[in-house]
């Protein structure tokens, strides 16, 4: 017989639910003070929506409808179920809200910032922070998140259960933390959002739509953060960085799914709208004169975005920016990228010297990006044999399929004498 075609009315409702989920759930948790209860009653409200909305004009304020329906279910639950005896205050508050004639146009108090800080609390395991943020704020289903991170659904479900249990048992407060905690806490939120983006971006040379969706989701979360934390230049810096990177998405892989490096990308495929928005955000952020790693990385991406070609890129500017980044947030990959920029601004020989000074040779032995960069620079310097050796070393250490294929092509080209 075949499966029934998906109901377009349902699809439209699910789209709305997904868009409203984060805001409604955040507000609900503010009322019920329990993540699991909030999610359960909201799920019930969604089921109700799927029953009542089809065949009628949609509510003017679908988010408000979901919130009100979920809240009523929570009131029922807290009244009837003995397990929630202690939730007297929460019950009283919800009853009062229900009794007040509600202005349908009134905006829901936006509790999403509280939700973000709670989901990204340092007391939660890093993987749990990511999963919880995507579930609570992104409205992704457990299935979608599991698929995106290539883990079994049961693993992801358990991860979420454990995280909610920890929040409850350890009493992680549901709030926007006080100002003196922001440096640490905001860094955690930004790093979760950036992690989600990178998962989507690094894998985007594959065909899995879910991975591309992760970039969209991260950008969406980034926008919420910029809206709700307008005085934080690093939030704007992160959004700018993600937009600038994402602008290149269409140009990063060819029809056979091979990775195309920046050097060879068709720049006419870059999304100009995203670039303009990214540059605007970055300029505004820099005016606050509180530079940070995301702003600097965004600046690097912006230099690339404004270059007509790889050859005419302002590599010296990029090198200086990597140097600056290396001072704020020293790391191997940053110093490596500085050397690569140097190879384009001052030539391969200068870069080889810089590479040698990069660090403990024993550590670099197993560092794939070092060998990949070294191979490429040696190739451009005309040192064929050394380059071949370096490509082989890099391949030994490469696990990513697209990258492996790329390096193999480079090696083959060298061996065939191109």
Partner 1 sequence: MQYLMLIYNEESNPPQPGTPEGDAYMNEYMAFTEDVQQKNLMLGSNALEPVATATTVRVRDGKTETTDGPFAETKEQLGGYYLLDCKDLDEAIEHAARIPCARGGSIEIRPVMVFE
Q: Which positions lie near partner 1, rule CB under 8 A?
A: 83, 85, 121, 123, 169-173, 177, 181
CB-wise, 170 or 401, nearer to partner 1? 170
Minimum gap (Å) between residue 207 Cβ and partner 1: 42
Minimum gap (Å) between residue 172 Cβ and partner 1: 5
CB-wise, 82 or 96, nearer to partner 1? 82
Minimum gap (Å) between residue 169 Cβ and partner 1: 6
Minimum gap (Å) between residue 78 Cβ and partner 1: 15
- Cα–Cα distance measured from residue 357 to residue 370, given in angstroms and rounded to the nearest whole number: 12
**Alpha helix ranges (H) inside 203-264:** 209-228, 233-246
- Cα–Cα distance measured from residue 140 to residue 325, given in angstroms and rounded to the nearest whole number: 34
CB-wise, 188 or 313, nearer to partner 1? 188
- Cα–Cα distance measured from residue 368 to residue 363, given in angstroms and rounded to the nearest whole number: 11
Spatial contact of 70 and 42, defined as CB atoms under 8 Å apart? yes
Q: Count Cα atoms within 13 angstroms, Cβ side, for 206.
A: 17
CB-wise, 80 or 287, nearer to partner 1? 80
Long-range contacts formed by 185-188: CB under 8 A, 24+ apart: 185/117, 185/120, 185/121, 185/122, 186/229, 186/232, 186/234, 186/235, 188/120, 188/121, 188/122, 188/129
- Cα–Cα distance measured from residue 83 to residue 294, given in angstroms and rounded to the nearest whole number: 45
Cross-strand partners of 253: 259
Q: Which residue has the tokens 């370096």?
A: 390
CB-wise, 82 or 309, nearer to partner 1? 82
CB-wise, 15 or 83, nearer to partner 1? 83
- Cα–Cα distance measured from residue 388 to residue 413, given in angstroms and rounded to the nearest whole number: 10
Minimum gap (Å) between residue 171 Cβ and partner 1: 5
Spatial contact of 55 and 15, defined as CB atoms under 8 Å apart? no
Minimum gap (Å) between residue 109 Cβ and partner 1: 21
Minimum gap (Å) between residue 117 Cβ and partner 1: 10
CB-wise, 101 or 178, nearer to partner 1? 178
């Amino acid at each position: 017989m075949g499966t029934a075609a998906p109901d377009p009315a349902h699809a439209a409702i699910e789209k709305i639910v997904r868009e409203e989920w984060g805001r409604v759930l955040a507000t609900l948790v503010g009322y019920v003070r329990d993540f699991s209860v909030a999610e359960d009653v909201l799920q019930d409200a969604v089921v109700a929506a799927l029953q009542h909305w089809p065949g009628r004009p949609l509510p003017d304020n679908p988010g408000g409808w979901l919130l009100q329906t979920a809240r009523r279910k929570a009131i029922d639950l807290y009244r009837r179920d003995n397990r929630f005896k202690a939730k007297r205050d929460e019950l009283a508050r919800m009853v009062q809200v229900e009794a007040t004639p509600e202005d349908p146009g009134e905006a829901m108090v936006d509790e999403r910032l509280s939700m973000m800080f709670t989901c990204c609390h340092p007391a939660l395991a890093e993987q749990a922070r990511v999963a919880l943020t995507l579930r609570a704020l992104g409205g992704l289903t457990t299935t979608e998140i599991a698929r995106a991170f290539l883990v079994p659904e049961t693993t992801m479900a358990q991860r979420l259960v454990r995280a909610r249990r920890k929040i409850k048992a350890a009493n992680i407060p549901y709030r926007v933390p006080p100002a003196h905690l922001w440096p640490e806490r905001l860094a955690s939120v930004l790093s979760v959002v950036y992690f989600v983006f990178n998962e989507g971006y690094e894998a985007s040379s594959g065909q899995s739509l879910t991975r591309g969706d992760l970039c969209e989701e991260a950008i969406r979360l980034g926008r919420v953060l910029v809206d709700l934390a307008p005085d934080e230049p690093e939030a704007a810096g992160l959004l700018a960085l993600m937009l600038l990177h994402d602008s290149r998405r269409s140009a990063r892989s060819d029809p056979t799914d091979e990775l195309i490096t920046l050097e060879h990308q068709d720049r006419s495929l870059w999304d100009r709208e995203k670039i303009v928005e990214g540059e605007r955000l970055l300029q505004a952020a820099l005016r606050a004169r509180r530079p940070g790693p995301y702003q600097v990385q965004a600046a690097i991406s912006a230099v690339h975005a404004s270059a007509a070609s790889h050859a005419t890129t302002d590599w010296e500017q990029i090198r200086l920016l990597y140097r600056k980044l290396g001072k704020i947030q020293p790391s191997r990959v940053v110093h490596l990228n500085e050397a690569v920029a140097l190879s384009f601004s001052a030539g391969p020989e200068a870069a080889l010297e810089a590479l040698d000074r990069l660090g403990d040779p024993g550590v670099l032995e197993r560092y794939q990006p070092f060998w990949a960069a070294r191979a490429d620079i040696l190739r451009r310097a005309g040192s064929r044999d050394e380059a071949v050796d370096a490509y082989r070393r890099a391949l030994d250490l490469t696990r990513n399929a697209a990258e492996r294929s790329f390096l193999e092509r480079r090696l083959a080209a060298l061996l065939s004498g191109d």
